[in-house]
Amino acid sequence: MSESTWQLLLDSLWPLIHGAITGTIPLALASFAIGLVLALGLALMRLSKRRWLSSIAQVYISIVRGTPLLVQLFVIFYGLPSLGIVIDPWPSAIVAFSINVGGYAAEVIRAAILSVPKGQWEAAYMIGMSHRRALTRIILPQAARVSVPPLSNTFISLVKDTSLASLILVTELFREAQQVAAFSQQFMALYLEAALLYWVICLVLSSGQGVLEKRLDRYVAH
Amino acid sequence: MSPTDQKLLTVRGLQKSFGDNQVLKSIDLTVARGEVLALIGPSGSGKTTVLRCLNGLEIADGGTIEIIGADDATHAPVTIDFAAAHGSRAGVPKKTLGTLRDRSAMVFQHYNLFPHKTVLENVMEGPVVVQRRPRAEVETEALALLERVGLGEKRDSYPFELSGGQQQRVGIVRALALRPTLLLFDEPTSALDPELVGDVLRLIKELAAEGWTMVIVTHELEFAREVATEVAFVDGGTIVEHGDPKEMLRNPQHERTRQFLHRLLFPF
């Protein structure tokens, strides 16, 4: 690689990191937070004894998981304006990613809730708890431990999927890379640099997952 | 009926089915204050279901449960009529079901301690979070109870760090801390290694001697004989016979009771 390529990589490093800090990371965090709330609601709907609630959640999850994220993104950003609903790039991206995370994480959370032994519900009822209180104080904390590894997967996928937002004009890591690449015609170098940065972010997240798992594992036998 | 001979617990015609399987045909029983009732019987006989109905973990399809409070003056009897509820939780007034739960506390076969909470937190959860009693007062009481069962030093341990016998003693303390009028034990020693059974049975015996009112589902006939004031043999969803433990276990009147006791005494 020539010296000028190295120089270009060095010069573009800051714009790319800037794209990650102001685009990729906040986009992923906001979508994940909203998506998790959505997912918890959907998981509880799925577990509900009321058929219609469970069905609604089931259809939602099926649609989200059965259609490409890029298509969902385009429907919201390019499709909705034809119905008179115009949403800016950023909110469009957050809406699409949140809906997507909601669908995937719902099944994770549902499985985690089901993995808590029935006796835990009974002990909670026995000490006088209501269903809601049993859920929040006894069941969910235990479900949280089980769901950390699969939810970490979802989050890491999301971080990488935010690159799709470049296609609806959100300025984030990948869009910065595309712009520098187009300008300099150094496609290989710039896209590899972007890939490396995504990888570094995911490495940090993985180690964060390790810390979280260790913390939540303090009350189980090893 | 004078207040003194009023029964603490009165169950009349209790019925329960799971699908087509009628687990409880018609259960009648009474427990007076300070009495210890042992329910014995083959597995699948319905004895555990009786116990679970007494704590509202199962909603019976028919019959009534009446339970009085710790103190006649302040705790009026509450009666649940299950026929009116048609076996559905929604059919039982929430407040009535709540009172039933408040007045009874259960010790589970598999302890069912909360694994994400320490021993002390397990004991304090109900009194503090549900009963909204002052934390400091509850803590003092909880620690005293833990000391009493020899687990004061384990207050900050998690359940997985304890032996089965220790976990079950925490389970008993958790039930006591709720200040119930009626203690329910569901085969409290069935999941324990044989050498750990003694500690738990000794504790239950002490509680009986202190005057706690209890219903115990058990396979420990020796224990029933020694601790119970009344024993009831449950089979096929009915109470086949009941009476004084020493008398009944030595000289059962019914053939089914005889067969059951024989099988327990001579398993092979």
Residue with tokens 């909670």, as numbered in its chain: A124
Q: What is the pLDDT at residue B3?
A: 46
Residue of B nearest to A121 (CA): B112
- A138 inside 8 A of chain B by CB: yes
Tens of pLDDT, residue by residue over B20-40, are 899 999 999 999 999 999 999
Contact yes or no for A127 and B178 at CB 8 A? yes
Judging contacts by C-beta atoms under 8 Å, the chain B residues touching residue A133 are 129-130
Contact yes or no for A120 and B57 at CB 8 A? no
Task: Report chain B's mean pLDDT, rounded to a whole number.
Answer: 90
Query: Residue B111 in contact with residue B171, Cβ under 8 Å?
Result: yes
User: Which DSSP state fits B148?
Assistant: H
Between CA A186 and CA A166 the distance in angstroms is: 19
Dig out the tokens for A29 from the structure.
């965090």
Q: Cα distance from B117 to chain A (closest Cα, Å)?
A: 8
Q: Cα distance from B98 to chain A (closest Cα, Å)?
A: 7
- B154 inside 8 A of chain A by CB: no
- B114 inside 8 A of chain A by CB: yes
Query: Residue B86 in contact with residue B136, Cβ under 8 Å?
Result: no
Indicate if the pLDDT at residue A222 is higher than 70: no
Taking CA atoms, B63 is separated from B28, B33, B50, B97, B105, in Å, by: 9, 22, 12, 15, 21
Dig out the tokens for B134 from the structure.
């002052």
- A221 inside 8 A of chain B by CB: yes
The DSSP bridge partners found for residue B67 are B9, B78
Contact yes or no for B126 and A128 at CB 8 A? yes
Between CA A121 and CA A115 the distance in angstroms is: 12
Q: How far is CA B77 from the centre of its chain?
A: 19
Tens of pLDDT, residue by residue over A161-187, are 999 999 998 889 999 999 999 999 989
Count of domains for chain A: 1
Query: Residue B155 in contact with residue B186, Cβ under 8 Å?
Result: no
Best-predicted range by mean pLDDT among A1-5, A197-201, B93-97? A197-201
Number of other CB atoms surrounding residue B252 within 10 Å: 20
Of the candidates A118, A142, A111, A119, the one whose C-alpha atom is nearest the C-alpha of residue A39 is A111
Indicate if the pLDDT at residue B1 is higher than 70: no
Q: What is the pLDDT at residue A1?
A: 66
Tens of pLDDT, residue by residue over B171-217, are 999 999 999 999 999 999 998 998 889 999 999 999 999 999 999 99
Domain CATH number, residue A174:
1.10.3720.10
Query: Residue B232 in contact with residue B29, Cβ under 8 Å?
Result: yes
Q: What is the pLDDT at residue B76?
A: 77
Instruction: List phi, psi (to 5°) of B251.
Output: -135, 70
Q: What is the pLDDT at residue B81?
A: 87
Tens of pLDDT, residue by residue over B51-100, are 999 999 999 999 999 998 766 555 678 888 888 877 677 778 888 888 88
Pairing of strands B21-31, B62-67: unpaired
Pairing of strands B36-40, B213-217: parallel
Taking CA atoms, B42 is separated from A66, B75, B260, in Å, by: 51, 36, 7
Q: What is the pLDDT at residue B217?
A: 96
Dig out the tokens for A164 from the structure.
């799709």
Residue of B nearest to A120 (CA): B112
Task: Report chain A's mean pLDDT, rounded to a whole number.
Answer: 93
The fold of B3-110+182-265 is Rossmann fold (3.40.50)
Residue B76, C-beta contacts closer than 8 angstroms, at least 6 positions apart = B68, B69
B165-183 b/e with 16+ CB inside 10 Å = b? bbbbbbbbbbbbbbebbbb
- B55 inside 8 A of chain A by CB: yes
Number of other CB atoms surrounding residue B152 within 10 Å: 14
- A220 inside 8 A of chain B by CB: yes
Between CA B104 and CA B199 the distance in angstroms is: 23
Q: What is the pLDDT at residue A42?
A: 97
Q: How many CA atoms lie within 13 A of B77 on its CB side?
A: 14
Q: What is the pLDDT at residue B72?
A: 56
Across the range A77-100, mean pLDDT stands at 95
- Which of the residues B112, B168, B178, B179 would you substitute to probe the A interface, choosing the one with the greatest number of A C-beta atoms within 10 Å? B112
Per-residue three-class SS string for B194-238: HHHHHHHHHHHHHHHHCCCEEEEECCCHHHHHHHCCEEEEEECCE
Taking CA atoms, B132 is separated from A133, B90, B124, B241, in Å, by: 13, 25, 10, 42
Query: Residue A147 in contact with residue A108, Cβ under 8 Å?
Result: yes
Domain of residue A169, residue span: 3-219
Tens of pLDDT, residue by residue over B227-259, are 999 999 999 999 999 999 998 888 889 999 999
